[in-house]
Amino acid sequence: MSNSESPLIYLDTNVYSRPFDDQTQPKIQAEANTFLDIVPQLEAGDLTLLCSDMLVFEVENILSTEKRTKVEDYELCAQHVGSSEAVLELGKQIQSNCQIRPRDALHVASAILGGARYLLSCDKTVTQMKQARRYRREYFSVMNPIRFVDKMKRRKFE
């Protein structure tokens, strides 16, 4: 399913959840639609999806059984980053230096250590953090899925 040439992306839990959130807000609806634009690209192998133990943990702890089941139906991961001392240590550094929540920092750390090129999040605190790039030598970008899909459609990845 994945193509070794396709960009490796990481979606945090809120991206997966967007199609099942309250769609009365235009921003949430737009983010939900972009997730649904990404899914066929993953299925076709044009993008490769990285997941983590943090993602699995958060999905398993979605309070609504119906929502959790729907999110779990999107099992498109081609690669997985497990919990490790390295993820925890990098997560602590990111949390401290970037002033983000611990779980968000662990998502970022997992994406970086897993070799993702892009981390997509609907959380403004995460997408506006500029310091994440310094934790990885190769290219790494954190952005909202709307921006990512726009770049994907224009074939203009950073």
User: Does residue 26 lie within any of the structural domains?
Assistant: yes
Q: Please count the CA atoms within 13 angstroms of the CA of 125 that sit on its side-chain side.
A: 15
The pLDDT of residue 12 is 95
By residue range, what is the domain housing residue 58?
8-153
Q: Which tens digits make up the pLDDT trace of 40-60? A: 999 999 999 999 999 999 999
The pLDDT tens digits of the residues spanning 58-108 come to 999 999 999 999 998 888 899 999 999 999 999 999 999 888 999 999 999
Name the domain count of the chain.
1
In a domain, 158, yes or no: no
Give the CA angle between residues 65, 70, 73 to the nearest 5°: 125
Give the domain CATH number at 53.
3.40.50.1010
φ, ψ dihedrals at 80, nearest 5°: -140, 140
**Which residue reads 């224009």 in tokens?**
154
